[in-house]
Amino acid sequence: MKKVLLIDGMALLFRSFFATSVYNRFMYTSNGIPTNAIQGFVKHMITSMETFEPTHVVCCWDMGSKTFRTEMFDDYKANRPAPPQELIPQFDLVKEVVEAFDIPNIGLAGFEADDCLGTLAELYREEAEVIILTGDQDVLQLIKPNIKVALLMKGYGNYEVLDENGFYEKKGLTPQQLIDLKAIMGDSSDNYPGVKGVGEKTATKLLMEYQTVDGILENLSALTKSQRQKFEDSLELLHLSRELATIKCDVPVSCELNDATITIDRNKVANKFDELEFKNLHGFIDKVC
């Protein structure tokens, strides 16, 4: 059976950047271009290909900070600092490196990488097993038959791979209920509020009992007075938060499965590595060639 590895490029790039920048290791080329994030990204990408042995690979990216979510809610991700100066030139360069592997780069202005991952996963799961590689827990909502999520753990080659059963064992909820969980408890990293005063524990308990946000709202009279008040005070924000939390699986991106077949030209990759002065990464090419 075909096996597609969908890579959350932003998650890998940011993780790789901060893993070394904390020690001020930016690994400049002789032209003064920092490459620390790209080098870490390449190690993560190749290690995951070695681990999961996919037949096809696609890499998804954010295309700027303005999306339909920021249009819906001005404060969405507004608490995020601007990317560090040393990371900025690496956004375009990393895509060139992915291209050198003949792996498609997919992204669409107005949407996040997550939306591209969700759309392609939905597209491919009819004919392939799909593994989404990310460090972002939000992506767990995409788990369903033929779609697993591999969460990056510390170091290289360490993953927590979750399917529907694994997610249920971990959370006591279905992956789909994660959207409603986030709608209720909000998300401080994405900067949307949810229901003020209701945390993960209470939200999980309510969803176990009433299944969905709609189920909870239909049973407000059964909630404690304090809980009922909190939901009534936050109704508008609750519905908004649910929309913000939902990964769209129908955005207008496509990538034919055939275009994502792994066909790595060793010389092409080696030339790109030489251009960026990746002295220590040539051995990695052998792992996937």
Domains of the chain, by residue range, sit at 2-171+247-279, 177-245
CA 39, CA 50: separation in Å to the nearest integer?
A: 17
Place 23 in a pLDDT band, splitting at 50, 70 and 90.
confident
H, E, C per residue of the chain: CEEEEEEEHHHHHHHHHHHHHCCCCCCECCCCCECHHHHHHHHHHHHHHHHHCCCEEEEECCCCCCEHHHHHCCCCCCCCCCCCCCCHHHHHHHHHHHHHCCCCEECCCECCHHHHHHHHHHHHCCCEEEEEEECCHHHHHHCECCEEEEEECCCCCCEEEECHHHHHHHHCCCCCHHHHHHHHHCECCCCECCCCCCCHHHHHHHHHHHCCHHHHHHCHHHCCHHHHHHHHHCHHHHHHHHHHHCCCCCCCCCCCHHHHECCCCHHHHHHHHHHCCCCCCHHHHCCCC
**Which pLDDT belongs to residue 1?**
85
Options 3.40.640.10, 3.40.1190.20, 3.10.20.30, 3.40.50.1010; which CATH number does 2-171+247-279 get?
Answer: 3.40.50.1010
pLDDT digits (tens, 9 = 90+) for 42-83: 999 999 999 999 999 999 999 988 999 999 988 888 888 889
Q: What tens digit of pLDDT does each residue of 183-206 get?
A: 999 998 899 889 999 999 999 999
Architecture of 177-245 per CATH?
Answer: Orthogonal Bundle (1.10)
Whether residue 3 has pLDDT greater than 80 = yes
In the block, residue with structure tokens 């990759």: 269
**Contact predicate 91/97, CB 8 Å:** no
On whether the pTM is more than 0.75, the answer is: yes
**Phi, psi values for residue 132, rounded to 5°:** -100, 120
What pLDDT sits at residue 64?
87
